[in-house]
Amino acid sequence: MKRYAPLLYLLLIWLVGATTAYAQSNETTTFWKGFEKVDFTFRDTPACYVKPRQALPGKPWVWRAHFPTWHTEMDSILLSRGFHVAYINTNDLFSHPRAMQLWDRYYDYLTQEKGFAPKVALEGVSRGGLYVYGWAKRNPAKVSCIYAEAPVCDPRSWPGGKGKGSGSPQDWTRWRELYGLTEEEAAQFTDIPLNDLAGLAAFKIPIVHVIGLNDKIVPPEENTFPLVQNYLRLGGPISVYPMTRGEQKLDGHHFPIERPEQFADFIYQHSVPVQKVLATTPYLVPNRGLTNAYQTFISTGKGTVAFLGGSITHNPGWRDKVSRYLQERFPGTQFTFIAAGIPSLGSTPHAHRFQRDVLAKGTPDLLFVESAVNDRTNGFSEQAQVRALEGILRQAYAANPKLNVVLMAFADPDKFGDYDQGKEPVEVAVHRRVAAYYGAPFINLSQEVYDRLKVAEFSWKYDFKDLHPSPFGQEIYFQTMKDLLKQEPPAGVAVQSITLPAPLDRFAYEKGNYRPVSEARDTKGFSLNPSWKPQGQVGTKPGGTRAGFVEVPVLVGEEAGASLTFDFNGRAVGIAVVSGPDAGTISYSIDGKKPQQLDLFTQWSQQLHLPWYLMLADELKPGKHTLKLTIADTKNPASAGNACRIVYFLVNE
């Protein structure tokens, strides 16, 4: 294993996001193998790039991760064909997140300031494998292909020497100290090239490894072979070329490259012609940005980040990636992450559960909110969406006036028809409007996915796959979020409290909350089940429930004529029910006024006991009111019964 003297890096946490800040004034030009080489210092780190005599259109490029002067035949061929070759010296950081943060900024500099292609071919030699896979897994949309030569894919193999390889005790100690790991923790460490390859595989990033079969320093049995197996199982394209001709040196770790032009062809084939991709800028509306949250993370060393949404927030994917990015960007901050995603729920449920599902677990410094998909699916009106979204924001700002909120609109095919007609979907427009009014950043992922589909960057059927995104779709979402998260507030700006304006809608759910079903009175035919769960099978799944709506207290009525009374103090009242295959119809009145009927059965009720939120009145005068609810003797023809199962009363005080 090649060794360089250790370098100590003090990498800035506050990295300037504006492209003008990348300009370098310390460039020196020399010649390397007949090509112009530009050396400079980038963020206190030595960096360089080599220019071709005549650049290809779009400026395709290769990024060398380590040992830039080793086996350069392929680089020379690519330079002669019009490629640029770049390098930044993060040696001895072993692909630590500090190095990955710097790589992100170097990529931005080369693509934004120097016009390099948006997708780069990564070249990793030996321990350089740690870097190319570390960065590629964090940025699969920015990679055209990977060439890896005798790559380290598991630090426990090298430098750890925990298997067949000889290892390097000095480098193993340095690696563990860099990551802050004990021997026991290092054995369980998962942020290594062998793992988390689903994003790369989803983007079909082509990979080639060239190896020595008798490599005793980085044994292929512990590195290349398991990575190949993992990548193939995920559907990723990968090949291996054993180098068997010529003298094998350094215990088989060094070998001559047979036919380097063949591997230059591999990179050329997957990099040319340069494919233009849409920028994320049009889909990001920073408004006030993230100044307060970021300053809080740095000044206090603590940060609470909450994620409020439906199933796209609940499921693994972008939420985990955002959490990881924040932890890597602010390594000195102790984070608390509140996962408050519940499938099927939109903005009205979010507004009424915010106190319980978010604030009861911590006061956020940064809050992510999404509801556009379920608001469309569940049929909430534009007015209801405004009342709910600004109700969430006003509750959040009341709890922490220094909070930053990010509103996001995710993609679903139901909205594509609106875009086809040149219209912005109502749900997206509401998110944008509320975000602008309160100065919250807005990310329009709905429009972005539609636009990328229209220019054939990918397909919905085979790549994105569903409104619950595939690993590919999760990466699309995260990369745009990351571009917002990378943006920096102006230097010297202090944390400022937000003064709330008058609400957009005076009936906003800014004091929305749950009220326990035990507060019902005069119950006739209703009984309180302290830990309700369905009996039998619903659809194809036993039970068919959502977390938080099973094995909780539920007020159950299953016969026509069952009734209850609920007294409340506020301007709005509603119910959160579980609507299963036997959901009935209710009749209700408020303060003795004319009764109204409401069907509790939904198009999904035969598939699961769906959490279903219904506002019965939301423009009442402030003060005391009484709700009278009765199960009607009529029901939906598709329903198997008359059931009304109330999990919560909803009240906006």
**492 in a domain, yes or no?**
no
Q: Give pLDDT tens digits for 325-346.
A: 999 999 999 999 999 999 999 9
pLDDT score of 212 more than 50: yes
CATH number at residue 154: 3.40.50.1820
47 & 96 share domain:
yes
Instruction: Quote the pTM value.
Output: 0.92
CATH number at residue 397: 3.40.50.1110
* Per-residue H/E/C for 431-482: HHHHHHHHCCCEEEHHHHHHHHHHCCCCCHHHHHCCCCCCHHHHHHHHHHHH
463 & 535 share domain:
no
260 & 287 share domain:
no
Whether 97 contacts 328, CB under 8 Å: yes
∠ CA 105-107-109, nearest 5°, is 70
* Per-residue H/E/C for 172-201: HHHHHHHHCCCHHHHHCCCCCCCCCCHHHH
The pLDDT-based confidence of 14 (bands split at 50, 70, 90) is: very low
| DSSP letter, residue 652 | E
Q: Give pLDDT tens digits for 413-444.
A: 999 999 999 999 999 999 999 999 999 999 99
Whether 556 contacts 524, CB under 8 Å: no
Q: Give pLDDT tens digits for 34-77.
A: 999 999 999 999 999 999 999 999 999 999 998 988 889 999 99
pLDDT score of 492 more than 50: yes
346 & 445 share domain:
yes
Q: What one-letter code names the amino acid at 590? A: I
pLDDT score of 8 more than 60: no
Of 269, 302, 320, the one marking the end of a domain is 269
Extended strands (E) in 295-426: 302-309, 334-341, 366-370, 404-409
Q: How many domains does the chain have?
A: 3
Question: Domain containing 636: what range?
Answer: 512-652
**507 in a domain, yes or no?**
no
**13 in a domain, yes or no?**
no
252 & 286 share domain:
no
Mean pLDDT, the chain, whole residue set: 93
Q: Using N-to-C axis directions, what is the helix angle for 471-486 and 318-329, rounded to 10°?
A: 30
457 & 556 share domain:
no
Distance, CA of 444 to CA of 427 (rounded, Å): 11
The pLDDT-based confidence of 20 (bands split at 50, 70, 90) is: very low
